[in-house]
Amino acid sequence: MANVTFTSPKMSRDLTVYAVAGDTQTLLAVAQAHKVPLDFECQNGECGSCIVKVDVLSGKRPVGIALTEKEKTVLRYAGKITPEQIAAAETDDVPPPFRLACQFIVRHEDILVTF
Ligand code: FES
């Protein structure tokens, strides 16, 4: 129920795939299913190798999602999230632009994933 477009210098062209409604797949799982060359190591929200930028393309407010403590810690350590963005996620359900693909659950919204 969502189009997920992957873009990267590692790919010869952008790839848009359809994520099925009701799936609770991670973004990393979607990428792997479509042979998108997204880096990963731990697959458990600990190493930070799967950091991606996620832009919501619908023009609507992004679907709010609770960041896990692990994801917050890894993004903070990588310099990919500010204290203000953490506060916005916690108090206003505003997702930050950078996420861990192995922790991000694909929702019913079209997104652009840059890595
Ligand atoms: Fe290690 Fe996602 S693969 S944090």
Pocket (CB within 6 angstroms of ligand 1):
40-43, 45-50, 74, 100, 102
Query: Residue 23: what pLDDT?
Result: 62
| CA 39 to ligand 1 center in whole angstroms | 8
- pLDDT tens track for 22-64: 667 899 999 999 999 999 999 999 999 999 999 999 777 777 6
ipTM above 0.90, yes or no: yes
Domains, the chain, in order of start with CATH, read: 2-114 (3.10.20.30)
pLDDT > 90? residue 107: no
Question: Which region, left, alpha or beta, applies to residue 26 given φ > 0 means left and ψ of -120 to 50 means alpha?
Answer: beta
pLDDT at 102: 95
* Atom 4 of ligand 1, residue of closest alpha carbon: 45
What does the pLDDT read at residue 31? 95
Which pLDDT tens digit goes with each residue over 71-104? 999 999 999 999 999 999 988 888 899 999 999 9
Tokens coding 9: 């210098």
Instruction: Please choose from 30, 50, 113 the residue to mutate so as to test ligand 1's pocket, defined by most ligand atoms within 8 A of CB.
Output: 50
